[in-house]
């Protein structure tokens, strides 16, 4: 096996390369960020590939859950108090970043009053800003909390409000998080449920391994079986835990392919998601 790094190859560039330049012989496998799927669905410029023709081999990471939380000293220890507050400052990396979108999704469905989205941080810098009081809240990946900021749990420094299950029913288990309501229960309309479905499936795709279209079926069969075996191997789970500290929740090839197929693609939902992911005011409810 030979690993080849491609500068800027995390999204559209890698997908365009896979679709237009990689020989369909089963020899070259591309590993890419899930953003290549959302870029295609949302009609972002520069997309020169068809996500329904690409061949999916699965991903080592998939299921997860996100939390929305605020500084304890803000006093918003109930959803009613949080909703009554105005101008809650929510930290994020950049417009369009996964954590930024999650923060806006929480704010939207929780009906926060005039939330402010403060960007320009790295992930760890958001945590530092939260502790310094530069921002009041953030969205976090649930299993990151015990690994990266265990003092938030041990010293009770945060109010935990809502958990977003990806997929519905799946959540990172912790006594602080178990009682939290699930975000999907706050969706009131079919449009809101459809936008949630889009976001869930975008995230479920994980960081997929891909083959170009027209790869011979026999090669696809061999490689898919190999990936299925890896994602069931106890050694894979042990290595993931050792290298990242996280539990692996892999997605096998057929599940990944079906996840992509089930992403909603109606224009109204796409427009709402684009608004949610951008810098304009949140969609109306």
Cβ atoms of 252 and 77 within 8 Å: the answer is: no
Q: Can you give the pLDDT at residue 251? A: 96
Interacting residues of 171 by C-beta distance below 8 A, sequence separation 6+: 65, 142, 163, 165, 177, 178, 182
Q: Can you give the pLDDT at residue 9? A: 66
Q: Residue 117 is encoded by which pair of tokens?
A: 């989205």
Fold category of 12-61+205-251 in CATH: D-Maltodextrin-Binding Protein; domain 2 (3.40.190)
Q: Can you give the pLDDT at residue 3? A: 86
| 151-177 mean pLDDT | 96
Q: Is the pLDDT of residue 138 over 90?
A: yes
Query: pLDDT tens across 242-269, in order?
Result: 998 888 999 999 999 999 999 999 999 9
Q: Is the pLDDT of residue 4 over 90?
A: no
Architecture of the 64-201 domain = 3-Layer(aba) Sandwich (3.40)
Q: Can you give the pLDDT at residue 211? A: 97
Query: pLDDT tens across 24-46, in order?
Result: 999 999 999 888 999 999 999 99
Cβ atoms of 182 and 105 within 8 Å: the answer is: no
Residue span(s) of the chain under CATH 3.40.190.150 come to 12-61+205-251
Average pLDDT of the chain to the nearest whole number:
95
Q: Is the pLDDT of residue 10 over 80?
A: no
Q: Can you give the pLDDT at residue 100? A: 97
Q: Is the pLDDT of residue 23 over 80?
A: yes
In whole angstroms, give the CA distance from residue 130 to residue 72.
11
User: H/E/C letters for each residue in 80-135?
Assistant: HHHHHCECCEEECCCCCCHHHHHHHHHHHHCCCECCEEECCCCHHHHHHHHHHCCC
Identify which of 83, 204, 209, 195 has the alpha carbon closest to the alpha carbon of residue 137.
83
Q: Can you give the pLDDT at residue 180? A: 98
Query: pLDDT tens across 181-227, in order?
Result: 999 999 999 999 999 999 999 999 999 999 999 999 999 999 999 99
Distance between terminal CA atoms of the chain?
Answer: 51
In whole angstroms, give the CA distance from residue 199 to residue 259.
11
In whole angstroms, give the CA distance from residue 137 to residue 48.
37
Q: What angle do CA 35, 40, 41 make, to 5 degrees?
A: 100
2-6, 89-93, 163-167, 172-176: least confidently modelled range: 2-6
| 66-74 mean pLDDT | 98
Share of the chain above pLDDT 70, in %: 99
Q: How sure is the predictor about 5, in pLDDT bands with cuts at 50, 70 and 90?
A: confident
pTM of the model: 0.93
Q: What is the largest CA-CA distance in the chain?
A: 60
Instruction: Tally helices (H) and strands (E) across the chain.
Output: 12, 8
The tokens 């976090």 sit on which residue? 140
Query: pLDDT tens across 77-113, in order?
Result: 999 999 999 999 999 999 999 999 999 999 999 999 9
Residue span(s) of the chain under CATH 3.40.190.10 come to 64-201
In whole angstroms, give the CA distance from residue 251 to residue 60.
6
């Amino acid at each position: 096996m030979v690993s080849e790094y491609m500068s800027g190859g995390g999204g559209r560039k890698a997908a365009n390369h896979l679709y237009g330049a990689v020989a369909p012989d089963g020899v070259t496998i591309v590993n890419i960020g899930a953003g290549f799927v959302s870029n295609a669905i949302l009609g972002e410029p520069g997309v020169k590939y068809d996500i329904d023709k690409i061949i999916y081999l699965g991903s080592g990471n998939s299921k997860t859950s996100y939390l929305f939380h605020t500084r304890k000293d803000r006093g918003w220890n109930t959803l009613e108090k949080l909703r009554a507050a105005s101008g809650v400052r929510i930290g994020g990396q950049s417009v369009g970043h996964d954590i930024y979108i999650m923060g806006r999704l929480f704010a939207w469905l929780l009906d926060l009053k005039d939330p402010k989205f403060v960007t320009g941080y790295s992930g760890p810098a958001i945590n530092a800003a939260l502790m310094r009081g530069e921002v009041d809240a953030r969205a976090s990946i649930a299993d990151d909390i015990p690994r990266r900021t265990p003092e938030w749990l041990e010293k009770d420094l945060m109010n935990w409000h809502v958990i977003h299950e990806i997929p519905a029913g799946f959540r990172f288990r912790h006594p602080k998080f178990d009682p939290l309501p699930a975000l999907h229960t706050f969706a009131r309309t079919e449009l809101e449920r459809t936008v949630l479905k889009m976001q869930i499936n975008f995230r479920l795709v994980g960081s997929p391994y891909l083959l170009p279209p027209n790869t011979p079926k026999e090669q696809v069969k061999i490689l898919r079986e190999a990936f299925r075996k890896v994602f069931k191997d106890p050694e894979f789970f042990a290595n993931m835990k050792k290298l990242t500290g996280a539990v692996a929740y892999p997605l096998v090839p057929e599940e990944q392919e079906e996840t992509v197929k089930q992403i909603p693609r109606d224009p109204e939902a796409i427009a709402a998601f684009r608004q949610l992911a951008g810098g304009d005011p949140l969609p109306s409810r």
